[in-house]
Amino acid sequence: MYRRGVIEERLTRLASLRGDSAKGLPTSAWSTNLDDLDRDLLLRAVIHVTRVLMIPEWESKRKDDRRPQLALEAAEGWLATKSPESIANAKTVAKDCTAARNETFGTDHRIPEAARACAWAVAAKDNAHIWEALQSIEEDHLARIALVAEYHRVPEVRKAILAALRTVLVPAPTAAAPTSTGPVPYAASGHFEIGQKLTHPKFGNLVVTASVDKTIDVQLDDGTTKRLAQKPK
């Protein structure tokens, strides 16, 4: 796991790069700076960026068409289970996003395109689809700016993407867990912090090593790790 400062430095570098005026940064720029980060964390981050920066536009015009949202949910389902069924589901909704892309080509096609890339990233051998999603997001926002000739807003696009990435890749420091005399019992209805010690009726003593939204990663006494559910804040 990279230190916060290292990731911040890379995000700052990405902010300073000059991209194409119509397409933004090439996929190679994203890859050069982020490719060695944890793949699951990267996918979670790009799902978040897509949901925050793309889905509202889609919902404002097509509130009954949830194909892009289902693609993001399928990718999250795979992250939670890593099951063959979740892979099959991701492939199905990715095909649906291809249809949505074709139906909206020339207007909003990059929204299902970005969501499709997130679904395609499920169980992929590399991060190529993750970079494609980021490129689609930046290209979409640049196109909308060009449509109304508000070119002074161009710098805002990358800043918005990086800010959304940062919330997952470099989450804000949380207050230290209250000091206690020993581990607290694990419950799926609780919310836990990195470093917190827990007890589990099946797994015994645990230490929280990662905490993201609805899940935590924990380390057992024997060094193995598990992923458990938690209540989002």
Q: What is the pLDDT of residues 93-137, one digit of tens each?
A: 999 999 999 999 999 999 999 999 999 999 999 999 999 999 999
Task: With cut-offs at 50, 70 and 90, classify the pLDDT of residue 7.
Answer: very high
Lowest mean pLDDT among 66-70, 133-137, 181-185, 224-228: 181-185
Helices 67-81 and 110-120 pack at an angle, to 10 degrees, of 20
* pTM, 2 dp: 0.74
Which one is predicted more confidently, 70 or 178?
70
CA dihedral over 124, 130, 131, 137, signed as positive or negative: positive
pLDDT for residue 208 is more than 70: yes
The residue written with tokens 């060094």 in the block is 223
Q: What is the pLDDT of residues 163-174, one digit of tens each?
A: 999 999 997 766
Q: What is the mean pLDDT of residues 185-204?
A: 89
Per-residue confidence (pLDDT) for residue 5, from 0 to 100 = 87
| Run of H or E residues at 210 | strand 204-212
Lowest mean pLDDT among 56-60, 84-88, 120-124, 169-173: 169-173
Q: Where in the chain is the domain with CATH 2.30.30?
A: 184-229
The CA dihedral of 179, 184, 190, 192, to the nearest 10 degrees, is 50
Enter the DSSP assignment of 185: E
**At the topology level of CATH, where does 184-229 sit?**
SH3 type barrels. (2.30.30)
Query: What percent of the chain lies above the pLDDT cut of 90?
Result: 75
Q: How many angstroms separate the CA atoms of 186 and 206, rounded?
A: 9
Per-residue confidence (pLDDT) for residue 179, from 0 to 100 = 55
The CA dihedral of 188, 190, 193, 197, to the nearest 10 degrees, is -70
